[in-house]
Each structure stands twice: as structure tokens, then as C-alpha cells.
Amino acid sequence: MERLDKVLSNMGYGTRKEVKALVKNGRVTLNGSVVKDSSMHIEPEKDEIYINGEKLCYKKYIYLMMNKPKGVISATYDGYDKTVIDLLSVEDAIFNPAPVGRLDKDTVGLLLITNDGELNHRLLSPKKHVSKRYYARIEGRVTDEDVLKFKEGILLDDGYKTLSSELYILKSDEESEIEVV
């Protein structure tokens, strides 16, 4: 059971104060009856809710796949650059989703976006050991020496050593194609 005002607010029908005004003006019905109390508890998966005569399709979570374009950052907000959330429709953005992980600004690729915080954590937590596979086209030749460096872990400029990973060379040329697991 959840509060009606919280459900409607989470679905983008306004702040709780604005939802309270919708209810006060008789614009919300629940199972055929006009709602009088915006704080009443409901079962959103079972109850029939109408707002302004339109049936509400309740969704607690949304799961979106995006082909992130180049030049867009994997963030919910940024004061300078366009974010993946800026590219969403209003209908999806009202759920306050967040990207699962990140792709660099100049990287194009599949990005999962959701408001399911538990799933986001399960996919990203190192303790859960969810393997990830990346395919990339990069400038320059890739060598067996690079494969060995990935296997041993790479020491970065800031002193951090990455975890071991598998580098597969799909094509080594002026522009190479690799896969990293």
C-alpha cells in the first residue's frame, strides 16, 4: 500500500501539493469514486485510478535502452553539456531515471537507463561480479603486448592499477577493433 499523493507525484502529476489540488478539485477518481483525501493509501497495481477522466497506467519502474550518441554525457544533470536524461521524452523523464554506469562523452553505445535503484546497484556493484563486454573501434594498431597489459592490469597515471581484464583483438590496423571483457 502506498499513499496516493506519493504515487501520483512519482508518476509526474505534480508535487504532492499540486496532487492535493487535483484531488480537491475532484479531478481524481479511485475505483469509480471521487477521491477526497490525497493521502489515502492505495494499491497502485490493482486500483483503477483516473485523472481528468483518463485512466492511469501505473508504472513503478521504467527500463530504457538508449543508443547514446557522441557528445552526450552519461549523467542525470550537467550545467554545461547535454545529458542522456535530456534526450528522454517528458513521459520517461518524470520517473527520474538514471544511467546504469557510464559511457564517455565521445563514446557511442548501448546504455541502460532506469529508476530501479536496486537493479542499478546489482549491475554496478563489484561485489556482484556482473561481467560486462565492451566492443570498440579505436585509432592505431593493437598488439599482443596490449593483450598482456590488460590481463595484468594497467597502471594509470594517477597510480591506480586497473583490475585484470581480457582484451580480444578483432582487427589490428590503422583503425583497430577490440573487445574487452
* Residue 7 grid coordinates: 504515487
Statement: residue 122 has pLDDT above 90:
yes
47 is catalytic: no
pLDDT confidence tier of residue 59, bands split at 50, 70 and 90: confident
> Rounded to an integer, what distance in angstroms lies between the CA atom of residue 144 and that of residue 169?
8
| CATH of the domain spanning 2-55, picked from 3.30.200.20, 1.10.10.10, 3.10.290.10, 3.30.360.10 | 3.10.290.10
pLDDT average, residue stretch 100-111 = 93
**In this structure, how many other beta carbons lie within 10 angstroms of the beta carbon of residue 64?**
17
Statement: residue 90 has pLDDT above 90:
no
pLDDT for the residue 11: 84
Statement: residue 85 has pLDDT above 90:
yes
pLDDT for the residue 94: 84
What count of Cα atoms within 13 Å lies in the side-chain half-sphere of residue 126?
2
pLDDT for the residue 13: 87
pLDDT for the residue 160: 94
pLDDT average, residue stretch 130-159 = 94
Largest CA distance in the chain: 71
CA 23 from centroid of its chain's CA atoms:
31
3-state secondary structure of 87: helix
Q: What is the rounded average pLDDT for all residues in the chain?
A: 94
pLDDT confidence tier of residue 3, bands split at 50, 70 and 90: very high
All structural domains of the chain with their residue ranges: 2-55, 61-130, 131-181
Q: Does domain 61-130 have CATH number 3.30.70.580?
A: yes
Statement: residue 10 has pLDDT above 90:
no
pLDDT for the residue 132: 86
Kindly name the residue from 37, 81, 104, 144 that is annotated as catalytic: 104
Task: Report the length, in residues, of the chain.
Answer: 181
- Measured CA to CA in angstroms, residue 158 lies from 101, 113, 175 at distances of 21, 30, 27
